[in-house]
Structure 1
């Protein structure tokens, strides 16, 4: 996950490039954890609005994580939602390098 503050708009942050290797998807909700760390660490740095363009196929997951769809658009030939995180659900995380602890499930 990449995050950055919008140049010229203090407090507005954007997330991009959320990626989880195919073999690790759905293991311990890693993607959701990365989203939480990204938004909470931006919140600790003064974020008052956190936005992202989310592929439409992933919009439901973001909505379950307290994001709202503001608009629908097409980027790179794929449908996306412009979404905003509910910062009340993401308390500031001042040490994001210690913010995500996950255990891999063992295959049966």
Structure 2
């Protein structure tokens, strides 16, 4: 990752984070790569339904980076048995290796979960 920008994954706050994520899921590039080429941008109700579903099948987490003295939410990831979808919703953070760092953090979470079982 460039400049070693610190990242963290935090649990989703469904009410507040859906409003934040709305801007990501109205971006045609995000929709194209996460949902497919013929999917329309999401409205708030669709984002809420998606987040509720993702949180029910796994652990939905918000991706944050530490910049200018504060944590900034830039995307989301779901840690589930079926898949691990990662969305870097804020364009300025794409192609910086953040997805790779998120996967490393997910692997750490998986190891901790296995260790508890």
Richer in strand (by share): 1
Instruction: Give the TM-score category using the shorter length.
Output: under 0.3
Q: TM-score, normalised by structure 2?
A: 0.26
